[in-house]
């Protein structure tokens, strides 16, 4: 494959010196871009884009044609794993993802099989290979998966949830069954991410969107332990380079200190914890990614620039910072406003690296 021309992201994730802070944006390929909406409309639905390697490549590349980003991220979905496990993923109009066959009983969990991801999710790995060819070494490609806890919430609830009553009930009544489910998902996710790395992903990220719904010991038992299992099982070197691993728990707060002990290379930080505080929690053991409030992109260019300046100042001097939002970009954002953010990072970050 082509020689990597811009490795700022990979170096920053490994806390190596860079001349400016690299920047990419969670959900950078998505509904805020009119060209993405056009592809999705032509494809018919979201999963038709995900499952077509050429279309997945096209929408992965779209933001890179508009902006000077330092990474591409695979266009896919965290629910491809339970879909491969036979739960029957579908998307209800206006209601998000649902499963035809949720797993709510011990018998359901026992019946779950660890799928052959190379076969059942071959379209994802073909998308990775296609994107790497299209990138031609311009920037690294990030692969990703959902955390076992987050994926399990959808598998048990059968859909998005506000209170996670069913899975929390399972945790209270039959914790061993829940741990068995999380183990199966963690093993499958490890296979899935390793196959992405084998296909060409140069960094991987685990999205723990709903870990913040757990507190204290429950977070460590049901969310962090399963992510630790994944980190322990991942391929960490490919083509002579380390493959950095990023963990992101939305709402992690002080749990960042425990997350930093997993052996991951970097932690995503949401906008509710400033980076100075986060850096104190992790004691510079890992890089940090984040963490501008996504709502800032609705404001004026001046406010966006100020927000960028504040995030950079909060992290402070030295290596180990990747600029991002504190969560994904929302569909209502003016694409020009993201351009303001990216330009501001390019302009304002070099003094922090001298």
Residues marked active site are found at 27, 31, 40, 77, 154
> Can you read off the two tokens belonging to residue 213?
């719904």
- CA 11 → CA 1, 123, 204, 321, distances in Å? 19, 29, 14, 10
* Cα dihedral 208→212→215→217 (10° resolution): 10
CB atoms within 10 A of CB 31: 15
Which residues on adjacent β-strands are paired with residue 90? Answer: 98
Distance of CA 136 to the CA centre of its chain: 23
Please give the Cα distance from 223 to 14 (Å, whole number).
Answer: 24
DSSP state of 137: T
DSSP state of 271: T
Looking up tokens 């490795």, which residue turns up?
A: 7
Length of the chain: 354
Please give the Cα distance from 177 to 184 (Å, whole number).
Answer: 11
* Nearest alpha carbon to residue 267 among 246, 283, 291, 292: 246
| Max Cα-Cα span within the chain | 59
Q: How buried is residue 272: exposed, middle or buried, by Cβ count under 10 Å (0-12/13-18/19+)?
A: middle
CB atoms within 10 A of CB 161: 16
> Can you read off the two tokens belonging to residue 203?
């960094």
């Amino acid at each position: 494959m082509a020689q990597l021309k811009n490795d700022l992201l990979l170096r920053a994730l490994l806390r190596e010196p860079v001349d400016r802070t690299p920047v990419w944006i969670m959900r950078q390929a998505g509904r805020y871009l009119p060209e993405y909406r056009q592809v999705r409309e032509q494809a018919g639905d979201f999963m038709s884009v995900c499952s077509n390697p050429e279309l997945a490549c096209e929408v992965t590349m779209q933001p890179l044609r508009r902006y000077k980003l330092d990474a591409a991220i695979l266009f896919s979905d965290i629910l491809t794993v339970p879909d491969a496990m036979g739960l029957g993923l579908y998307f209800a109009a206006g209601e998000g993802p649902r499963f035809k066959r949720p797993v709510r009983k011990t018998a359901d969990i026992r019946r779950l099989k660890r799928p052959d991801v190379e076969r059942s999710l071959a379209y994802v790995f073909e998308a990775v290979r296609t994107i790497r060819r299209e990138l031609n070494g311009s920037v690294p490609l990030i692969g990703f998966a959902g955390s076992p806890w987050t994926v399990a919430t959808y598998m048990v609830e059968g859909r998005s949830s506000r209170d996670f009553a069913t899975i929390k009930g399972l945790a209270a009544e039959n914790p061993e069954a829940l741990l068995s489910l999380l183990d199966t998902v963690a093993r499958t996710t490890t296979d899935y991410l390793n196959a992405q790395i084998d296909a060409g992903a140069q960094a991987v990220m685990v999205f723990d969107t709903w870990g913040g719904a757990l507190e204290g010991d429950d977070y460590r038992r049901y969310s962090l332990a399963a992510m630790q299992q994944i980190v322990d099982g991942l391929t960490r070197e490919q083509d002579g380079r380390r493959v950095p691993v990023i963990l992101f728990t939305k709402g992690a707060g002080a749990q960042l200190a425990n997350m930093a002990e997993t052996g991951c290379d970097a932690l995503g930080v949401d906008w509710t914890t400033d980076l100075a505080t986060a850096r104190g929690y992790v004691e510079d053991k890992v890089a940090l990614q984040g963490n501008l409030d996504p709502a800032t992109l609705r404001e004026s260019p001046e406010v966006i620039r100020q927000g960028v300046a504040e995030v950079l100042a909060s992290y402070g001097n030295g290596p180990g910072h990747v600029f991002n939002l504190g969560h994904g970009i929302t569909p209502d954002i003016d694409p020009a406003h993201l351009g303001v953010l990216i330009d501001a990072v390019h302009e304002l970050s070099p003094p922090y690296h001298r």
